[in-house]
Amino acid sequence: MIDPLTLDQMRILVAVADAGSFSAAARTLGRVQSAVSQSIQTLETTLGIPLFDRSHKT
């Protein structure tokens, strides 16, 4: 069974998608980049799929 997603995880996911990067999303959310990255990594582990392509930096 998949653990339920939290509203905070969904907010972070949307912020990263809208901002285009983890660091820009962190600034928007008033958090550190590592916390945003960890939240997305936890979400990806929970869902069992990668949500973002990390193969290159923009």
Percentage of the chain surpassing pLDDT 90? 72
pLDDT digits (tens, 9 = 90+) for 3-23: 678 899 999 999 999 999 999
- The helix/strand/coil state of 3 is coil
pLDDT at 24 over 80: yes
The whole model's pTM is what? 0.84
Q: Is the Cα dihedral 31, 37, 41, 43 positive or negative?
A: positive
Q: pLDDT tier at 57 (50, 70, 90 boundaries)?
A: low
How much is the mean pLDDT over the chain?
A: 89
